[in-house]
Amino acid sequence: MRRLIVFNQVSLDGYFTDSKGDMSWAHKSDPEFNAWTQENAKSGGTLLFGRITYEMMASFWPTPAAMETMPVVAKQMNELPKVVFSRTMDKASWQNTKLVKTGLVEEVRRMKKENGNGMVIMGSGTIVSQLTQAGLIDEFQLVVNPIVLGKGRTLFEGVKDKLNLKRTSTRTFGNGNTVLCYEPVR
């Protein structure tokens, strides 16, 4: 069975975007963190996105600027298979992308039963909350940034049931970011 991992940057007060949907606060240049990100990107798998995150990623990773600033990550992001869940998109033009218009929970449940590498969700708070509620997420990798936003969107907006987690690892970087990894207690 394939594992489903959430990888997201969050503020100290728990938001993955600010009140205007901006995430630029999460992109601080730090050689140690960048090296870890590049190594983490090599793990492969299928990338899952909602429409907003997909459009943001598709507007950056296929560009020369992405290849210049983070060539290893850009190569992986462009080559890996991707699935975008959207009821409003008509097509997905970023290479290796499949568009799924309905049945998020059912499709992810089906994908988890397939053989192959794991799956990773980045951003995509609405999808994270729905799949958390459905009990389909196997690991949460949260990069806590040393910033307080005051307002914004949480990854778990709409989750109705309490979810107990156990910490599996922690790593702190020179830029103040701390990666916290959790798995659901089942």
CA 125/CA 49 separation, integer angstroms: 9
pLDDT of 13 over the 90 cut? yes
User: What's residue 35's pLDDT?
Assistant: 79
Please report which confidence band the pLDDT of residue 10 belongs to, taking 50, 70 and 90 as the band edges: very high
Token digits of residue 67: 């290849």
Half-sphere exposure of 16 (CA within 13 A, CB side): 21
Structural domain range at position 175: 4-184
Number of domains in the chain: 1
- Residues 68-78 have pLDDT tens digits of 988 888 898 99
pLDDT of 24 over the 90 cut? no
Q: What is the CATH number of the domain that holds 121?
A: 3.40.430.10
State the pTM of this model: 0.91
CA 72/CA 20 separation, integer angstroms: 30
Shortest CA distance to 41 belongs to which of 117, 108, 107, 127? 117
- Residues 101-149 have pLDDT tens digits of 999 999 999 999 999 899 999 888 899 999 999 999 999 999 999 999 9
Please report which confidence band the pLDDT of residue 21 belongs to, taking 50, 70 and 90 as the band edges: confident
